Structure 1
Amino acid sequence: MNHKTVIVKIGTSSLTDDSGKLDPEALQTHAEALTRLKQAGTRVVLVSSGAVAAGFHELGLTHRPCSLAEKQASAAIGQGHLVQRYREAFATHGEICAQVLLTRSDFDHRIRFLNALHTLQLLLERDIIPVINENDSVAGDEIRWGDNDILAALVAGLLQADWLLFVTDTDGLYTANPLDHPQAEKIRRIPPFHGSMPAQVDNSKSRLGSGGMRSKLIAARKASRAGIRVYIGTAGKTPGWMLDAVKGRGSGTYMDAEPRRSSRKEQWIAAHSRPRGHLKVDDGAAQALVERGKSLLPCGVVEVGGDFEAGEIVEVAGPDGTLGRGVARFSAPLLRRVKGWSTREISRLIPNHPEEVIHRNDWVSFRGEAPSTNRSPQEASR
C-alpha cells in the first residue's frame, strides 16, 4: 500500500440530507474513511461535489438552481462553507486539508496543467489532503451541478494515480435501475473497452446530483485509459471500507486499467487536453507517423480544420480514419497557406520556423484505439 495515490470522488448525493443541505455526519464519516486510507501509507486526494448544494439555501432558494447565475452564486457561497466543514472534520483526526479549485480549461493548457500538478504534488509531499472542486463560480459551459466525475478522472491522470474511487448512492453499476427493476444485476467488473458505451448500463441520477451512472462510466473509461484502476460503490459501514476497496474487497463495481502511458506529456496529449483543430494527411504521412515514428511535415497535410495556434493540440486523421493527436508547431492560418509545401519552400518564406507540423516527440498514436471523447465538433473547429 505504501506510496500509492488514490483519488476519491464524493458526489453530492453522498454529502447531503433529504433537504439538499450538507449533512455534517455524512461528511465526518467520509473524512474518517479518507483518514484511514491515508494513515495506511496512501497519498489521498479528494474530489468533492457539493459546493452548489452547500450554498443555494443561503442564497434564499428553495429549489435546485436552474440558471447559470443561480448556480454560480450558490457555488460562491458554498465553496467556502464546504471546505470549512472538511477542515473541521479532518482536524478531529489530526489531518490538514487544502482547497484547490480547477476548471476544465486548466487541463487544456500545458503550463496551467503543470502548475496544477506541482501544486498538488507539494501539498501531498507536505502530508496535506487536497480537496478539489470545479471552480463553479467562474466556470461557464463546463459547470455541472454536483458532478465532478470527469474532473476526478483528469486529476487521477494528472497525478498518475493508482486508484480512482467513486463514492455514490448506488453500490456499483447495474444493468438497470435497481429501484425500478428488482431483477437488475450488478456488474461486478468491467474490462477496458473502446467505442460506444455498453447499452445495458443504467443512466439514472439522484435527485441532488447530476452525474448519473453513465457519466461515471465515461469518467472511469478515461481513467482506465490512463492506466488507473477504478472502483464505483457506496460508502461502507466501517471506517476501513476505502482501504478494503483498493485491496479488491469492495462490494461495488471495478474497472480494470489499461497499460499506463510512459509519460505525463503523452497522457496530456492523449487524454487530458481537448483538440483545438484537426488535420487530414495523405497515406504517406500516415505511414510515417504511425508505422515509422516520423514527424509530420507540411507536405503531407491535405486538410486543416479549426482555428488553433502553435502549441495547441490537434487531432490527425489519415485516409482510413483517426491516427492520433499531437502538438502543432504551425498555427491554422499559416498551415492552410503552406500545406502541401516542401520544407525548402517554407524556409524561404519563413526563415527559422520549425519545419515539422508535429514533431515526433509531441505525438501520440492511437494505433487503432478509439480516441478519448474530449471534444465536440464545435470545440474542434472554433
Structure 2
Amino acid sequence: MLDQPSMIHKNYLNRARPSTDSLTIVIKIGTSSICDEKTHFPLLSNLSMIVETILQLKARGHRVVLVTSAAVGTGLRRLNIDVKPKKLAAIQAIAAVGQGRLMSLYDDLFGQFNQPIAQILLTKNDLADRSQYLNAVNCFEELLDMGVVPVVNENDTICSSEIRFGDNDTLSAIAAGMVKADYLFLMTDVDCLYTDNPRTNPLAKPVWQCDDIQALREQIVVSAPGTSLGTGGMVTKLIAAELATAAGVTTVIARGSTPQNILKILSDTEQNDLPLHTRFTAKDNPLVDRKWWILHGLKSIGKIYVDHGAYRALVAKQRSSLFAAGIVKVEGDFVAQQSALILYERKDAAGAIIEVVEIGKGLVNYSCTEIGRIMGCKSADIPEILGYIESDCIVNRENLVITALREA
C-alpha cells in the first residue's frame, strides 16, 4: 500500500472511477480553513473560494452538502474573547453567538450568486429515533432536490458530551451516509495523509490511495491533534473515512485552503497533474440504510454475551438471527427496541477470558430482565417462562449488524 509515492500515484491514476455525470458530494470544512487560529477573524478569501467551488460543482449538475465548523471560533471573534474557555456552558453560549454569524457569512457569500442555503443542526439524539432519522434524511433529500445547499453543523448550543458526535469529521461521515453520497471531502490544513507528521519528519511520504484502513493504521504514525479552536485531527479523519466508506462513500482528504482542487480530483483520470490528496476506496458491499442507522445512529445501551456456537453462527453465516439459546450473559439496563452490543468472550483451557470479541450490534426484542430469564432456553420455551412471546429470537437478522471480520 505504501510504495514510493510515484508508484502509488501511477497505480492511483489507472484505477477506474465512478461516473461524474451527477454526483452527491459532501464537503467538510474545518475551523482552521474558516477562522484564523489566533485572531479568530474569518478567512474571507478562503470562504469565497469554498463557495465558488460549490457553485461550480452545482453548475456541473452535482448535489452538494456543506458540513462546516467554526461556530465557536466565529463566536469568540464576535465577543472579542481571546481564548476558548473550558467551561461547557460558556462554550455553548459562544457557539450560539457564532452560529448565527457563521450562517450570515455563508448567506452573504452564496447570496451574491442567488444560491439559497439551509441550516441543519444535528446531535446524536436527533438520529437515535428511527422516525427522526428518516425525517432528517427526507429533509436533506427535499433540500437537494430544490437546488438548496444544506449547511450542516453540530448543535453545540445544546450538546452535552453524551450526545456529541465529537467532531465534525464524524458528523460529515454520518451526513454522507444519510444522503447516500458518492464522495466525502475532508478538507484540512494539510494536503493529504502522510506516513508520519510531515512537519516534524522530513521523510514522511504522502499516501495517495487506501483500500484497507485497518492495514493502513498499522503502517503509519497518526498522532497530530487538531488546532486550538478545532476538535479534530488526522485520527478523527481516519475514523470518518472508515464510517463513510462502510456506507459506500469514496472519501478524500485534501487541503482546505485550496478547495478548487476538488474539481481536479473529480476530473478525468487521464491527467497527470492531480493535486496531492488521499483517497479511501468505498466498500463494494456497503451497509443498507437501516443497518447503517443501527450501527452509527444509535448508542448501545447494553451488552449481550453469547456462547461459541452462537458466535460461529452469527459470524460465519452473517445472516443469522440471535436466539436466546446462545446467550450466556446480559449486562446493562435496557428495554425492547433499544440497541445492544453482541459480544463473545474467548477463553483459554482453564476458563480464563483472554479476549472479548465484538460481534456486532442490534435492536433487541426483549428487555434486559426478560433476556436474563430466557437466556440459554429454546424459543419454544419462551411462552412458558415469560407467559407471552414477542418474537422467537432476541435480535432479528434485519436488525443485526455484524462487525466481526475474523472467522469463528
User: What TM-score results when the alignment is normalised by the length of structure 2?
Assistant: 0.83
Deviation at 1:138, TM superposition (A): 0.3
Q: C-alpha displacement at 1:60, in angstroms?
A: 4.3
Q: Which amino acid aligns with 1:259?
A: D
Quick one: which of 117, 121, 136 aligns to 1:97? 117
In structure 1, which of residues 306, 331, 336 is the aligned counterpart of residue 367 of structure 2? 331
Report what 1:264 is aligned to.
289
User: SS state of the match for residue 77, structure 2?
Assistant: coil
Correspondence for 1:317: 343
Kept in 1, the 8 Å contact 2:75–2:99? The answer is yes
Shift of 1:288: 3.7
Matched, 1:366 2:403: yes
C-alpha contact (below 8 Å) 1:177/1:204 kept by paired residues: no
Residue 71 of structure 1 corresponds to which residue in structure 2? 91
User: Is the CA contact (8 Å cut-off) linking 2:210 and 2:216 kept in structure 1?
Assistant: no
- One-letter code of the match for 1:19? T
User: Could you tell me how far 1:143 is from its partner in structure 2?
Assistant: 8.0
Contact 1:11 1:146 in 2 (8 A): no
Please say if residues 278 and 305 of structure 1, whose CA atoms lie closer than 8 Å, have aligned partners that are also in contact. Answer: yes
C-alpha distance in 2, partners of 1:143/1:177?
A: 31
Comparing 55-64 and 66-75, the one that deviates more: 55-64
- Stretch of structure 1 that moved more, 193-202 or 68-77: 193-202
1:201 — aligned with what? 222
2:134 matched to 1:109?
Answer: no
Moved more, 313-322 or 64-73: 313-322
**CA distance in structure 2 between the partners assigned to 1:188 and 1:101 by the alignment:** 33
Say which of 241, 249, 254 aligns to 2:279: 254
Q: Deviations over 1:176-231 (max 9, x none)?
A: 33233333222222222337934423424334322111111121122122221111
1:218 has 2:255 as partner? no
Whether contact under 8 Å (2:301, 2:338) holds in the other structure is yes
- Give 2:25's aligned amino acid: V
Deviation of 1:318 (Å): 3.5
User: When the two structures are aligned, how many residues end up with a matched partner?
Assistant: 369
Whole-angstrom CA distance in 1 between matches of 2:217 and 2:153: 26
Q: CA deviation at 1:264?
A: 0.3
- 2:140 is paired with a residue whose SS is helix
> Does residue 1:36 correspond to 2:56, yes or no?
yes
1:136 Cα deviation after fit: 0.2
For each residue in 1:22-52, what CA deviation from the matched residue of structure 2 results, as whole angstroms up to 9, or x when unmatched?
2222212211111111221111000000111
Distance (Å, rounded) in 1 between the aligned partners of 2:106 and 2:163: 22
Gaps of 5+ in 2: 1-19, 347-356
Amino acid in structure 2 at the alignment position of 1:5: T
2:304 maps to: 279
Distance 2:310 2:337 in 1: 20
In structure 1, the partner of 2:104 is 84
Paired residue secondary structure (1:118): helix
Gaps of 5+ in 1: 371-382
Structure 1 residues 45-70: Cα deviation after superposition (integer angstroms, max 9, x where no partner): 00000111111233342212322112
Q: Which has the larger radius of gyration?
A: 2
Q: Which residue of 1 aligns with 2:29?
A: 10
Instruction: Provide the identity percentage.
Output: 34
The aligned residue for residue 6 of structure 2 is: none
CA distance in 2, matches of 1:240, 1:195: 31
Instruction: Supply the AA of the counterpart residue of 2:395.
Output: I
Letter in 2 for 1:7: V
Instruction: Please list, as runs of the form range in 1=range in 2, the aligned pairs for 1:87-236 lying within 5 A after superposition.
Output: 87-141=107-161, 147-194=167-214, 197-198=217-218, 199-235=220-256
Matched position secondary structure for 1:261? coil
Q: Secondary structure at the match of 1:173?
A: coil
* Aligned counterpart, 2:9: none
One-letter amino acid of the structure 2 residue matched with residue 34 of structure 1: I
Shift of 1:369: 5.9
Note the C-alpha offset of 1:266: 1.9
Report what 2:39 is aligned to: 19
Q: What's the secondary structure of 1:194's corresponding residue?
A: helix
- 3-state DSSP of counterpart to 1:174: coil
Aligned-partner Cα distance in 1 for 2:222–2:210: 11
Displacement of 1:114 after TM fit? 1.3
Q: 1:66 to 1:36 in 2, by over 3 A?
A: same
Question: Contact between 2:49 and 2:260, CA under 8 Å: does it hold in 1?
Answer: no
Q: Which residue in the other structure is 1:344 paired with?
A: 380
1:378 corresponds in structure 2 to none
